[in-house]
Structure 1
Amino acid sequence: MKTKNSVMSQIEKINLKEKFSKFSDHWSPKVIGQLNHQQVKVVKFQGDFVWHSHENEDELFMVIDGSFTMELRDKTIEVHEGELIIIPRGVEHRPIAKEEVSILLFEPGTIVNTGEVRNQLTVEKPDHI
């Protein structure tokens, strides 16, 4: 059983700039923390992702640096630095970034980045950094 002191000794701040500096690959989320049943991840986008949806999970995308376009089947939404977008489960979507963008993600640990689609961009088990 964890004591209050042992739990408190594990609490540390997370520096997002430092985390983003640890990788350069695109479309490959990295886990930086856990919040209840949600994982906190960082990812860099550039180019077009695949159309996909997540049957059982919602996703939150928060732009830390840059901007991107979230394509939905019935509209397109521009998301800029300091803004976020929540994609409800079951909604087909595709992020696109003309320039590199740095994103903070909040999503369940069960999620696969490409949803039901499996291809070269699929990350089944993201790295922890």
Structure 2
Amino acid sequence: MTEAVDLRAVLKTFDDLWSPRIAARINDYDVRVTKVAGSYIWHVHDTTDEFFLVLDGELSIAVRDPDERVVTLSPGCVFVVPRGVEHRPYSDGGASIVVIEPAGIPTTGDRHDPLPDHIQTHTGLPV
């Protein structure tokens, strides 16, 4: 990709929640943008860290490392969930976020809770 990408413009192209779009790629990593609201599922990525950046709104991430705690992110805040740590993102009021992880990594991780209807497993959708 040799053009600048306006993440806010990408976010205007879809309304699906918890369904990231691949806005860019750096080396073997996807830069994914998504809209979130409500609760995701408990899941874990066994072989990779997961980077979160909040663009707007507020995102909370419950983590079990080994005790359960919650990290709350406001716009401009980042958090990295280390590989192997079970986590569950959620947003009571909704948020737009950037997630960076290796290309081809499923959004629901390597192990996860049963999937509710509003969550689909994929590796990011093209813009």
Say whether the fold is shared (TM-score over 0.5). Answer: yes
> What whole-Å deviation, never above 9, does each CA across 1:42-100 have from its counterpart, x for those lacking one?
01110011001001111101000111111012211111100010011100000110011
Task: Say if 2:93 is the partner of 1:102.
Answer: no
Percent of aligned pairs with the same amino acid: 32
Following TM superposition, the consecutive aligned residue runs of length 4 or more in structure 1 with deviations greater than 6 angstroms are none
Task: Say if 2:9 is the partner of 1:15.
Answer: no
Aligned partners of 1:18 and 1:56: how far apart in 2?
Answer: 32
| Greater helix proportion | 1
Q: Give the partner amino acid of 1:126.
A: G
Q: Give the partner amino acid of 2:39.
A: D
| Greater strand proportion | 2
Q: Give the partner amino acid of 1:81.
A: P
Alpha-carbon shift at residue 123 of structure 1 (Å): 2.6
Structure 2: unaligned runs, 5 residues or longer = none
RMSD of aligned Cα (Å): 1.3
Structure 1: unaligned runs, 5 residues or longer = 1-9
Matches within 5 A, 1:1-129: 10-73=1-64, 74-115=68-109, 116-117=111-112, 119=115, 120=117, 121-129=119-127
Residue 24 of structure 2 contacts residue 32 of structure 2 at CA under 8 Å; is this kept in 1? yes
Question: Aligned residues, how many?
Answer: 120
Q: TM-score, normalised by structure 1?
A: 0.87
Residue 112 of structure 1 contacts residue 122 of structure 1 at CA under 8 Å; is this kept in 2? no
When Rg is computed on C-alpha atoms for both structures, the one with the higher figure is 1
> What whole-Å deviation, never above 9, does each CA across 1:16-64 have from its counterpart, x for those lacking one?
1100100111010111111001001101110011001001111101000
